[in-house]
Amino acid sequence: MNRNEAIQNKYVGKVYLVGAGPGDPGLFTLKGKTLIECADVVIYDALVSPEILAMINPQAEKIDAGKRKGRHSLLQEETTQLMIDKARDHAIVVRLKGGDPFVFGRGGEEMEELINAGVSVEVVPGITSGIAAPAYAGIPLTHRLYSSSVTFVTGHEAAGKYRPAVNWQAIAHGSETIVIYMGIHNLPYIIEELTKAGLSKQTPIALVRWGTRELQEELIGQLETIVEQVEETGFEAPAIVVIGAVVTMQAVLRNQGYRDANVQLVAEVSGGTSATT
Ligand code: SAH
């Protein structure tokens, strides 16, 4: 359905679940940008960066879904109902989420409910923070020498639950690189589980906070040191945790000037030097 068809026929709006990426506006997709530029309503989350919010159609109704924290299950229901109501009155409703909507973003759950309510819905992927934050920190998630497998896991639901859903034992044995979302709060518990399962206490670990943004901060250590480092530095969420030998690549890549790679490449190209000649 295009915009004109939708406008002619009220009650047949469409919801787009759009991934805003990790923060750097240069990493936002062209499709996502086009959609927020012509949206009637944009319902956005707390982790969407201000630069991307600034691209929203000035005439659009903007709704901050992250503001009503503290009533989590109700909030989710309210947000879904809001999308359904708005889609019945408007042509283009964008649900804008940090990173990728289908990676720990409740995109699947929302899509299911919208479909059940008879609302047409489409997903627009975004670059997930679990890939982008390590990349901007100079950490490749796979490497032919160090890692041929990656696991993306949530650190949010482990502690205090009668039956934790995450099988840390299996993850410790089954994956060479472990990328944890929402892992800062439960880090001591997670590390205890991983080391109990046999992961060496000297395994390298990196925490990347506000990855790809100006505020990006990193903390590098080993499983046995990192909890103390977090306490000492007051390191806080939101951050991605990377565990595995690939973390040691950071030093190698940084020594080769990786940190300023983008700037250097642009300078080289405009200066007439080309790596391919
Ligand atoms: N759908 C999102 C993840 C939402 S869960 C995505 O694909 O990225 C929220 C968690 O994502 C945060 O607790 C943090 O662990 C991570 N996160 C999101 N944006 C981040 C960023 N810019 N830097 C580091 N971690 C980030």
Domain locations in the chain as residue ranges: 3-127, 130-275
Classify residue 111 by its DSSP letter: H
Percentage of residues in the chain with pLDDT exceeding 90? 75
238: cis peptide before it, omega within 30°? Answer: yes
Tell how far CA 197 is from the center of its chain.
Answer: 27
Q: What atom of ligand 1 comes closest to residue 241's alpha carbon?
A: 15
Residue 10, pLDDT above cutoff 80: no
For a substitution probing ligand 1, which of 111, 139, 157, 181 has the most ligand atoms within 8 Å of its CB?
A: 181
- Mean pLDDT along residues 13-20: 96
pLDDT computed for residue 252 by the predictor: 85
Contact 53, 130 (CB under 8 A): no
What is the CB neighbour count within 10 angstroms for residue 150?
18
**Considering 33, 62, 85, 182, which one is annotated as catalytic?**
182
Range 101-118 average pLDDT:
94
pLDDT per residue over 187-232, tens digit each?
A: 999 999 999 999 999 999 999 999 999 999 999 999 999 999 999 9
Q: What is the pLDDT of residue 165?
A: 79
What is the pLDDT at residue 152? 98
181: Cβ contacts below 8 Å, ≥ 6 apart: 103, 104, 129, 130, 152, 153, 154, 155, 156, 240
For 137-174, write each residue's pLDDT tens digit.
999 999 999 999 999 999 987 445 555 579 999 999 99
Query: What is the CATH architecture of 130-275?
Result: 2-Layer Sandwich (3.30)
- The answer to whether residue 69 is catalytic is no
Which residue has 């499709």 as its token pair?
A: 31
Assess contact for 44 and 126: CB atoms under 8 A. no
Average pLDDT over residues 53-82: 82
Residue type, 21: G
Confidence of residue 263 (pLDDT cuts 50, 70, 90): very low
Q: Does domain 3-127 have CATH number 3.65.10.10?
A: no
What local confidence, expressed as pLDDT, does residue 251 receive?
86
| 40 is annotated as an active-site residue | no
pLDDT of residue 271: 45
> Ligand 1, atom 6: nearest CA belongs to which residue?
99
In the set 45, 83, 86, 249, the catalytic residue is 45
Q: What is the pLDDT of residues 65-78, one digit of tens each?
A: 986 545 554 578 88
pLDDT exceeds cutoff 80 at 53? yes
Q: Given this model, what pLDDT does residue 4 score?
A: 59
Which atom, in ligand 1's list, is nearest to the CA of 127? 7
Mean pLDDT, all residues of the chain: 87
14 band by pLDDT with thresholds 50, 70 and 90: very high
Residue 170 CB neighbours (<10 A) = 11
Neighbours of 78 (CB within 10 A): 13
Mean pLDDT of 29-33: 98
pLDDT-based confidence at residue 234 (cuts at 50, 70, 90): very high
Residue 201 a catalytic site member = no
pLDDT tens digits, one per residue of 245-258: 999 999 888 877 55
Residue % of the chain over a pLDDT of 70: 82
Segments of the chain assigned E as strands: 14-19, 41-44, 61-64, 92-97, 120-124, 150-154, 177-181, 204-209, 217-222, 239-243
Pocket of ligand 1 (CB under 6 A): 22-23, 47, 97-100, 103-105, 128-129, 133, 181-182, 208-213, 237-240
Note the pTM of the prediction, 2 decimals.
Answer: 0.87
CA distances from 16 to 56, 85, 178, 185 (A): 14, 14, 30, 31
